[in-house]
Copies of this chain bind each other. A is one copy, B any other.
C-alpha cells in the first residue's frame, strides 16, 4: 500500500433495508415515478391526473351524475366540484340537466372534450409503454392479479 486510503467525495451509502423489506415501499416509489411521468405527459393538455380521470369517465359514461362520478373515482363529492368546475370552465364538459331529477347534473363531454380526451389517452398509452417497457403479457397479468387481490383485501 502506497497511499493511505483517502475516503473519496463520499457517495453516502444509506441503509434502507428495513424499508425495502416492505412491498408497499416499492409500490410507493414506483408509483411516484409513474405519477411524475404521467403529470408531465398530461401537462401539454392542461390536464392533471384527477381532471383527466374525470374527463375519461364522463366521455365513456355520458350523463352520469357528480355523485356517481365521485363514487367511481373514490373521492368525496365536495372535492369533485372544483374538478368539474375546471373541466366545465374549459368547455370540455357541460353540466346538463337530468330529466326527472332537478337536483342532479348529467355530465356530458363536449366535442372539444372528447377530442382532447382522445389525444390525452393516446399520450397516456405512450407513457405506459415507456414506463412498462419490456413487461410481457404474462408478467402483466400476474401484476394485475396481485394488484386486484390487494384491492380486495380491503376490510378483511
Contacts and interface: CB of A to CB of B under 8 A. Distances in A.
Q: How many copies does the complex hold?
A: 2
A59 B19 CA distance: 12
A45 interface: no
A5 interface: no
Could you say which of A56, A59, A134, A150 has the most chain B C-beta atoms within 10 Å of its C-beta? A150
Dominant SS among interface residues on chain A: helix
Interface stretch (A24-32, A77-85, A92-100): A24-32
Nearest to A21: B125
Interface of A: 12, 14-19, 22-24, 26-34, 36-38, 53, 56-57, 59-61, 64, 68, 71-72, 74, 121, 124, 127-128, 130-135, 139-140, 142-144, 146-151, 153-154, 156
